[in-house]
Structure formats: structure tokens, C-alpha cells
Amino acid sequence: MNTVTFRDFEERDIDFIYRCKNDKKLNSLIVGEWHPFTYEEAEKWVHGCMGDHETFKYWAVATNDDEKRIVGWVSLSNIDKLNRSACFHGIVIADPDYRNGLAWMESCKFIYEEAFEVMGLNRVFGSCRVDHNLSMSTGPAFFSQIEGYAREAVFVDGKFIDVCYRSLLASEYFEHKKAGDYEMSKILRRMVQSSRQKKN
């Protein structure tokens, strides 16, 4: 059984989002610019994430029980229905009890299932900082291909950091799914291998 499930955002999530958006350490590895939120900004953010939208979709990552308490979020952006593509906008797993990597992998798997099997997209692309070890290991684990690097693309804490760009195509996704490559045990094994290779 999965450790997390996915649902729409709700009013009860505002306090959680307010704490997350003001946690500098939690936001230390994002590609974009970070700034603390007021409570009103957190309210507006949650309300903006609710429901379906033409070019983006947010899901709350929640505990897989009756409470369905929020522990993070995951999203697609730049949804292009003409070219059938979208940006894997990001994953945030903020609850410390869910940071062992399983919720992260389940969130990745969910996004690809939604994008390719539900929405019928052809391409999912995304980016991450090269110093974000979990993101850099997730790409190979899901067979997402590197398209290139933007050198010294973000400036954080007094230094420039490279950004990696990747994508996964529907044909690749369904080929690997048919082969059973998206079983959680196999994903975990590939993530461990990728992490070890990066350290070496």
C-alpha cells in the first residue's frame, strides 16, 4: 500500500502551506526565487491551487488514511493541450515523517500516471538544480532523459549553480510500464544506484 495519496487542496491546508512557505531550509533547493509568505498570501496560494485550471494543476500530497492530512504537494504547469506537453513543476514533501524518499517516489509515479494515462500528454519536462541530490537521482529512476544543462543559471547563497533539464515521453513511459519497470521496488533500486553513481 502507498504511504501517501493525492487530493485537491482544501481550506484546512492553509496553515500547513503558511508554515512551509516560511521555512527557508525547506525552500533552499528550489530553482525559482523564494520569499516568505504572509498568511493572506498563503490563503490566496491555496485558493489558487484548488480545482482544475487550463494551464496548471496542483495536488495535495496527503496521508493515506481517513484523515488525509496534507504532507506536501506536487504539480504540473505550462500544460499545452495543442502540443500535449507539460512541465513537472515540482514536488515538496514537507512533513519530516514522510521524508524517507517513499512519498517522493510515489509522487513522481503519480504525476507521470496523471500526465500520460489520464491527461494523454506526450511529453513531460522539468528542471532541477544539480545540487539537489534527490531530484537528480529521481530522473534516471523514472527514465527521464537529460536534454541539457543551463550553466550557472541560479544564484543562491553567494554562488552560481547549474540547472539540469530533463524530459520523459509517453512512448518511453508506456514501454517501461509494460516491462514492469515502475514497480516501487525497482524504482527504489534505480534511485539507490543513481545516488551511488553520483557520489562516485
Model confidence at 77, pLDDT cuts 50, 70, 90, reads: very high
Per-residue pLDDT, averaged over 161-180, amounts to 97
Residue 198 has pLDDT above 80, yes or no: no
Q: How far is 45 from 18, CA to CA, in rounded Å? A: 9
Q: How far is 69 from 180, CA to CA, in rounded Å? A: 30
What angle is formed at CA 127 by the lines to CA 125 and CA 133, rounded to 5 degrees?
A: 125
What angle is formed at CA 131 by the lines to CA 126 and CA 132, rounded to 5 degrees?
A: 55
Domain ranges of the chain: 4-199
Per-residue pLDDT, averaged over 127-131, amounts to 92
pLDDT at 83: 98
pLDDT at 133: 87
pLDDT at 160: 94
Q: Give the residue with greater pLDDT, 49 vs 197.
A: 49
Residue 200 has pLDDT above 60, yes or no: no
Q: What is the mean pLDDT of the chain?
A: 93
- Could you tell me the pTM of the whole model? 0.92
pLDDT at 33: 73
Which CATH class for the 4-199 domain? alpha beta
Residue 31 has pLDDT above 90, yes or no: no
pLDDT at 134: 86
Model confidence at 158, pLDDT cuts 50, 70, 90, reads: confident
pLDDT tens, 55-70?
Answer: 999 999 999 999 999 9
